[in-house]
Chain A
Amino acid sequence: MERIRAARSSPLMKWLGVAPFFIFVLAFQILPSLNLFVGAFQDQDGNFTLSNFLSLFDGFVRRSYIVSLQVSVITSIVGGVFGFMVAYAITVGRAPRWMRNILMTFSGLAANFGGVPLAFAFIATVGHTGFLTAILHNICFTNGAGVQTCPFDLYQNGFNLYTLTGLTLAYTYFQFPLMVLTITPALESLRREWREAAENLGANAVQYWWHVALPILWPSILAATMLLFASAFGAYATAYALTGGSIPLATILVSQQIRGDVLGNPNEGYAVAFGMVVIMSLCIGLYSILQQRTAMWLKR
């Protein structure tokens, strides 16, 4: 049947069906990106050069990359570990069902919640006059000598929302739910028999996790970490709304380059952007490959 129909319409017609999609993507996705990439390899007169990429390794471009990488590494580790523990709690840890339902549902929501409102939420919660700041501020103790100490007064103890620490705190809000969503299916695939088998052979909890569970889980963990890393590395709106651009992330640098050519050389700006795409593509690519591998494995 299929063969008859395929013979009826010409191969050209067959490809025409996907033409609108490819034309659209070519015009509004490929062309703009390619245009940047070409610019990254040109000097100001349009000749081929690699010198734009030298700027990535010095001055404040290098610094912005380092800060971005730092933020991404820190938030993907903090969010990853926290998210893993929460996922552990709702699967192997057998937390109550209603907790599990709420955590899964709200993780789906929070993982997609970012941008400007996220920054506002954290300002309202742990900003100078925030809700949590006020509560913690009022917890004070008076010691034997009559000296009052307030150990949880955030801003007296060096905390500041408008710094890297604050940014980490805010990013964790979408990072850890993302981890919960990606790692829960893998944790669910751990069979109870494996644990029992390990215990029968005399393994304790640490040995079970180290020798049995983690080797099974590591591709999923690595995939999730890549996803978390990429989502932090490409984030702009939250950082901008929270710190107004005072933390020199690579995304912030690109935004300043768009607004006013802060690098004094448009082509260097394109190189900065190109470098970010390379890093993001590596992460997302690795994520997809690992995810496909584990998907195959989980099905079996």
Chain B
Amino acid sequence: MRISRINLWGLLWAILGLLYLFAPLFGTLDFSLRMVKGQYSLEAYQLVLADPKFLESFRYSAVMGIITVLVSIVIFLPTVYWIHLRLPQVRPVIEIITLLPFMVPVIVYVFGLIRTFSRPPFLFTLTPTGTDILICAGYVVLAMPYMYRAIDIGMRSIDVHTLTEAAESLGSNRFQVIINVILPNLRIALLSGALISFAMVIGELILGDFLVRPALGPYMVEMGKNYAYQPAALAMMSYALTWGCLGLIQLASRGGTSQQFTGR
């Protein structure tokens, strides 16, 4: 008797939770298909995909995302490796540092970037290339908590010391150890860090907007101001992309929902 009552109460909240998660998804999908009056069509999607500005901004953000992922791996992988191997005492400091992007709201962060790098002696924002370098560095900072945590968790699960000893006794140098031994062992961790960082860059608004580069975020805001149906189509595509990336992570890590911070 009592068990069935508890189950109903639990069931109610589970259903409410599901409704809250899926109603906006479904609403957006429905709305995005209704551009042509009286029928369902893919008109809104076609218009978006045919817009050269969309393609340009998508390409820009995608390229930025890939560069960000590569740069963060190059910076963070050797660092985490070195901490595990030689400098475990630095770990607490690095952990606090990797939390910093959560303590500084992105809008405040971009404020600091502009104040610091748009005037001598570190003038970055004069040319598009300079701004791109700056924006990329910004993305790497914003991706740091995800990338660092992913690599750190992966590194914990392998025996760094033994692997290094073994590789070195076979004649590898440090560089070879990282490339040929550590990197392949961290495939899953790196993949999940890469995907979440990539999804973050694709959806990012603030850096692209305030450093005035043609990223996807500012383009979406612009569309939102001027059109009704295309934004819904864009939101659906963004949903699909972000959730595709994050879904792949969950698949790769076999369903374990690693708990993440949010960095919006």
- Residues of A near any B CB (own CB < 8 A): 1-2, 6, 14-15, 17-18, 20-21, 24-25, 27-29, 31-33, 35-36, 39, 82, 85-86, 88-90, 92-96, 99-100, 102-126, 129-132, 172-174, 176-178, 180-182, 185, 227, 230-231, 233-238, 240-241, 244, 251, 254-255, 257-259, 269-270, 273, 276-277, 280-281, 284-285, 288
Contact = CB atoms under 8 A, between A and B. Distances in A.
A17 B111 contact: no
Contact of B90 (A1, A18, A92, A119): A18
Contacts, number: 295
A296 B8 CA distance: 34
B78 A93 contact: no
B112 to A, nearest CB: 3
B246 A112 contact: yes
Interface of A is mostly: helix
Given A108-B257, A114-B203, 11 more contacts: A2-B161, A20-B78, A21-B76, A25-B100, A31-B116, A86-B14, A112-B260, A115-B203, A129-B228, A132-B27, A285-B103
Interface-centre pick from B7, B28, B76, B220 (highest chain A CB count, 10 A): B28
B79 A20 contact: yes
Contacts of B196: 112
Contacts of A32: 109, 112-113, 115-117
Interface stretch (B16-24, B53-61, B182-190): B16-24
Given A90-B14, A234-B264, A241-B221, A258 B86 contact: no
Nearest to B110: A258
Contacts of A281: 103
Interface of B is mostly: helix
B87 A120 contact: no
Q: Which 7 A-B residue pairings sit nearest by Cβ, starting from the closest? A: A93-B10, A125-B27, A32-B112, A234-B105, A131-B27, A124-B31, A17-B82
A35 B115 contact: yes
A280 B234 contact: no
Given A20-B75, A32-B117, A120 B220 contact: yes
B11 A116 contact: no
B83 interface: yes
A219 B205 CA distance: 34
B199 to A, nearest CB: 7
A181 B257 contact: yes
29 contacts: A14-B87, A17-B82, A18-B87, A28-B140, A29-B144, A85-B13, A89-B9, A90-B10, A92-B6, A93-B6, A93-B9, A93-B13, A106-B22, A107-B21, A110-B21, A112-B199, A116-B203, A120-B28, A120-B235, A124-B31, A131-B30, A177-B21, A180-B17, A231-B261, A234-B102, A240-B205, A251-B107, A273-B112, A276-B108
Contacts of B82: 17-18
Given A24-B75, A120-B232, A231 B30 contact: no
